[in-house]
Amino acid sequence: MAGKYSDCYFCGGEVLAQRIDREIWWLGKLHLVQGVPAGVCRQCGQKVILPDVAKAIDRILEGKVAPERILQVPSFRYPESRAM
């Protein structure tokens, strides 16, 4: 949809409508929402999510939508001996 997003706030580049995946920490758990409509700046990659889309994501996170699937993800801790 042309003109849905205004030019990039940061660099003035053209912002294209795309679908992105969002990883969000919510109540101490990682949540993945795939296929989120968003604007992505073709110059700097900055992502823009419209208020209506953000509201829909909030509804999903509030547990009003059943998850499509539950994923298991590998989790690591950076070794203490290599800390700066």
* Contacts with Zn ion, residue ranges (CB under 5 A): 8, 10-11, 13, 41, 43-44, 46
CA distances from 66 to 4, 26, 33 (A): 29, 15, 12
| Backbone φ and ψ of 18, nearest 5° | -140, 175
Q: How far is the CB of 52 from Zn ion (least distance, A)?
A: 22
Q: How far is the CB of 21 from Zn ion (least distance, A)?
A: 20
DSSP structure class, residue 6: P
Q: Choose between 16 and 32: whose C-beta lies nearer to Zn ion.
A: 16
Q: How far is Cα 78 from Cα 54, in angstroms, rounded to an integer?
A: 32
Q: Choose between 44 and 54: whose C-beta lies nearer to Zn ion.
A: 44
Q: How far is the CB of 56 from Zn ion (least distance, A)?
A: 24
